[in-house]
Amino acid sequence: MTLDDKGASSPLDSFYAVVPAGGAGTRLWPLSRARSPKFLRDLRGSGRSLLQETFDRLSPLCEDRFLVVTGTAHAEAVAGQLDKVPADAILTEPAARDSMAAIGFAAAVLERKDPDAVMGSFAADHVITDEAAFAQAVSTAVAVAREGWLVTLGIEPTFPSSAFGYIHAGAALEGHPGVNVVAEFVEKPSTETATEYLATGEFRWNAGMFVARPSTILDLLHTWHPEFADRLRELAADPSLVEAAWADLPKIALDHAIAEPAAAAGKVATVPAAFGWDDIGDFDSLATLLGGEESTSTVVLGEPELVQAIDTTGLVVPHEKLIAVVGLDDVVVVDTPDALLVTTRARAQDVKKLVNALKDGGLGDLT
Amino acid sequence: MTLDDKGASSPLDSFYAVVPAGGAGTRLWPLSRARSPKFLRDLRGSGRSLLQETFDRLSPLCEDRFLVVTGTAHAEAVAGQLDKVPADAILTEPAARDSMAAIGFAAAVLERKDPDAVMGSFAADHVITDEAAFAQAVSTAVAVAREGWLVTLGIEPTFPSSAFGYIHAGAALEGHPGVNVVAEFVEKPSTETATEYLATGEFRWNAGMFVARPSTILDLLHTWHPEFADRLRELAADPSLVEAAWADLPKIALDHAIAEPAAAAGKVATVPAAFGWDDIGDFDSLATLLGGEESTSTVVLGEPELVQAIDTTGLVVPHEKLIAVVGLDDVVVVDTPDALLVTTRARAQDVKKLVNALKDGGLGDLT
């Protein structure tokens, strides 16, 4: 069925959700670890991991047409968290080969399975607060994708971020009010350039959410990387080859492999999206997500009774024992069974530097 | 024997060291707890508790003439730490009645035991870095005390502290070069007043270290609190009465009960003392003690390999697991099995406020 009077959150005919579950979330250490990455963690205190929330958000749209692509190391944990997802819906990557291989392989699998398929790819570790708006945007994207477009959801920017790439929206797309052809994708800008972008009203954040027919994705890939596309189709035809062949696939992001050249060729459309999106890149954005931009109190992720804060603002994540904080502004305190982090929201980006220092210092086991 | 050519650290004839071991050290929470107070802790990373260091410092002077006065709750722990001290040298107080009762009772016990006794009272939780200078000062104080003076060691101030009471040195004491009669004891001053004190060269910190003959102490007490003095002598004569009688003793500090009025009567002498004294009142002074006044790096009390600090200064006390700190100046991070403190050196005084908040919030078990 297509979008009908049941509203935007009804299942979309032949719509498949593909969720690449990867990435260590290094800047969220020690909550996020190589062995227990961000997407497996409940970072909102909702009782559900980010992966589970991603499933909860997508399943009304795709019903049982849900695929996860994850590393071998995480397959068991992913299966454990997604008890409604059958084992054959979890595609495992023997090695990390970036997003083109992961999403392209899912496309090749779906291309064989359902000639009417439209797939949407959504990261497993993003937060979306307005699910109805998300469903509406996906519905629109699916309709556009059926016509052969590679569709990207363009997040309406709420501030001039220098942490995201941008989508420059071009001409309006006929027949789809509000949808535009993508003029170009642009790399992460300076804050100054981002401010100029926002003033034009033509730029959106690139959250890496793509919707397309599987064959659109593979055909575009074939245009610029024919052997890569052929190889993915071979692997989908005979999955027993995956184990041996995977490590030799090109390591490239979908953005670079197809989205950017396809945009230059006028083949990418963008659907505007304003649904409260966050990729929770670091503890500063987690603090904002949980407590607002300029919180005047201490935000607790976990049991509030384990935190005693006096004259303090920031984020505190307790683990089993009391954390008492006195007289610190915008502090970040994160306790875990085997490591404790103390930093500030302003230095949240430097947690990555810390994790590298731990690895260099022989403490890689803790990262 | 008296001071001879063996030097200042030889035992002093009939010199008894009396160590009141009390006080919770609230501002050093969570290292110091009501059940495991400061004096039982190794706060310098020396492998010895402050009480043990106090014993180590005094035993060359007093040999086996060492008495501890402590609360019933801590008697077992004190005995466990002082394995060379016989059980009858640990006097237990059934209830905390402040320093006059504790030291006065020890005086009454010693007055009966040894007519030649001179006693010195030294807190169990102070740090002294120059032990030779300490021994020299005590030797001088003992010689003066034999003549019937109540002698106090006056610490040469190193900065205009508003955290200590001061001793105003008056006339020189004949026959004892460098020793003065005390003009008066003055309460904790403002920093401004303290600065004026230091400029005169006549003021010293009152560290509560008193040396006197036991009968000097009891006779002075009898002058202003005759019933109190009589009662202490009765209890020393029949220690079986202590248990029932102790709670009714007046709760008053030795300073107020005898030192201040005796100074007004011209009966107190002060020996100048410059031996690197610290009462480790809070984490700021602990950080200074361990790392210096203006440390440019992170001072670790405990295993250095458990601390990973980037762009950080301050004090970190790890417990079994890694503590990583990024981008904080003058921070204080103290981990323990059941509570973690994060604050700053500037707010170290407010840890007391925090402990009160914990008690008020039903978390008194953790204090």
| Pairs of CB atoms within 8 A across A/B | 117
| Chain B residues near residue A334 by CB distance under 8 angstroms | none
Averaged pLDDT, A332-336: 98
What is the pTM (predicted TM-score) of this model?
0.87
CATH code given to domain A15-278: 3.90.550.10
Mean per-residue pLDDT, B262-288: 95
- Residues B287 and B331: their CA atoms lie apart, in Å, by 10
Residues of B with Cβ-Cβ distance to A335 under 8 angstroms: 340
Using a pLDDT cut of 90, give the percent of chain B over it: 90
Counting residues of chain A whose pLDDT is more than 90, the rounded percentage is 90
Quickly count: other Cβ atoms within 10 Å of residue A106's Cβ.
25
Q: Span A225-251, mean pLDDT?
A: 96
The residues spanned by each domain of chain A are 15-278, 286-366
Specify the residue for token string 């031996």.
B275
CB count in 10 Å sphere of residue B47: 8
B interface test, pick of A27, A322, A344 with most B CB neighbours within 10 Å: A322
Average pLDDT over residues A353-357: 95
B152 vs B54: CA distance, rounded Å: 18
Q: Is B342 on the interface with A (CB under 8 A)?
A: yes
Residue A89 reports pLDDT greater than 60: yes
**From CA A169, how far away is CA A324, in angstroms rounded?**
49
Tokens of B79: 């005995």
Q: Tell me: pLDDT of B6 over 60.
A: no
Mean pLDDT (whole number) for B203-221: 97
So what's the pLDDT on residue B23?
80
Q: Is the CB of B359 inside 8 Å of chain A's CB atoms?
A: no
pLDDT over 50 (residue B301): yes
Cβ-Cβ contacts under 8 Å for B278 (sequence gap 6 or more): B126, B127, B285, B288, B289
Span A96-123, average pLDDT: 96
Q: Using the CB atoms, write b or e for A13-39: b if 16+ within 10 Å.
A: ebbbbbbbbbbbbbbbbbbbbbebbbb
Residue A3 has pLDDT above 70, yes or no: no
pLDDT, mean of residues A160-177: 95
CA–CA–CA angle A53, A57, A59 (5° rounding) = 110
Look at residues B249, B242, B254, B233 and name the one whose alpha carbon lies nearest to residue B91: B242
Distance from CA of A247 to the nearest CA of B (A): 35
Backbone angles phi, psi at A33, to 5 degrees: -130, 160
Q: Please report the pLDDT score of residue B3 as a whole number.
A: 43
Q: Is the pLDDT of residue A295 over 70?
A: no
Test mutation, B298, B307, B312, B322, chain A, max A CBs within 10 A: B322
Q: What is the pLDDT of residues A240-285, one digit of tens each?
A: 999 999 999 999 999 999 999 999 999 999 999 999 999 999 999 9
pLDDT band of B238, cuts 50, 70, 90 = very high
Rank A205-214, A296-305, B30-39 by mean pLDDT and report only the highest: A205-214
- CA separation for the pair B152, B303 (Å, rounded): 38
Q: Would you say residue B85 has pLDDT above 90?
A: yes
Judge whether residue A1 has pLDDT over 80: no
**Least confident stretch, A66-80, B173-187, B231-245, B280-294:** B280-294
Instruction: Tell me how far apart the alpha carbons of residues A102 and A278 are, in angstroms, rounded to a whole number.
Output: 22
Residue A11's pLDDT is: 73
For the segment A83-104, the average pLDDT, to the nearest whole number, is 94
> What pLDDT digit, counting tens, does each position of A26-39 carry?
999 999 998 889 99
**Surface of A (249-308) touching B: CB under 8 A:** 308
d(CA A320, CA A322): 7
CA–CA dist B153, B272 (Å, integer): 6
B327: alpha, beta or left, given left = phi > 0 and alpha = psi -120 to 50? left
Rounded distance, CA B132 to CA A278, Å?
64
Judging contacts by C-beta atoms under 8 Å, the chain A residues touching residue B347 are 311, 326-327
pLDDT at A6 (0 to 100)? 43
